[in-house]
Amino acid sequence: EDVSFFNERTGLAGVLDGVGGWKKLDPEADARKFAEILAKHISDSVENQGLDGLRIQLSVALDFAVNQVKGSSTVSLAMLRESDGYLVGLNIGDSSVMVFRGTQLVFSTQPGQFKFGYPHQVGTNHPLKGEILQEFSFQVKPGDWVALMTDGVTDNLWPSEIAEVIESNQSLSTFGGFLYV
């Protein structure tokens, strides 16, 4: 139920993880489709406007997605602001944005959850609220790796192990300086 994207025009990268528990509540719900619709709408509509633009477009995309299919998703978005070298973005839930300088983890979003096994999320019955939205701004340097990942990675690998994978594997999927693991 994971979805990732990179918009070359705006430099926006995202990873979303559709919350799978919906099928138990409603057989018509589709967490993967919800995450896909949300990702496409965010990717297609965001301009390089920084955090304010990301927040607004996420809200617009969320309004669109909840009218298409029932579901919810975690969301991690990151955009390199080339004017000053800052990585800006937002994170909802237990997906992550990490920045590695060599093998050193120099920045990471923090997982958000209502309780264990119940990550912060947006979607049907889960509106966008400020208390679940983690915004970030971090100055990156040439050679840094920006990695976006769902909890499927962070639940199974320590940051040092993720760094080892980045350092040793030349076949990783990269888009515009972003890495999806």
Q: Between 158 and 11, where is the model more confident?
A: 158
List, for residues 9-41, the tens digit of each pLDDT value: 888 999 999 988 887 888 888 999 999 999 999
- As given in the structure block, the two tokens for residue 24 are 């138990």
List, for residues 94-147, the tens digit of each pLDDT value: 999 999 998 899 999 999 999 888 899 999 988 888 889 999 999 999 888 899
- Nearest-10 crossing angle of helices 50-66, 31-45: 140
**Residue 103 to residue 32: CA distance in whole angstroms:** 32
- As given in the structure block, the two tokens for residue 122 are 């947006």
Beta 134-139 vs 118-119: how paired, if at all? unpaired
Q: What is the pTM of this model?
A: 0.89
Cβ 73 vs Cβ 17: under 8 Å: yes
Residue 16: Cβ within 10 Å count: 31
Beta 178-180 vs 12-18: how paired, if at all? unpaired
List, for residues 63-79, the tens digit of each pLDDT value: 999 999 999 999 999 99
125-131: list long-range contacts, CB under 8 Å, 24+ apart.
Answer: 125/72, 126/72, 127/62, 128/58, 128/59, 128/62, 128/92
Stated as kind and residue range, the H or E segment containing 163 is: helix 159-168
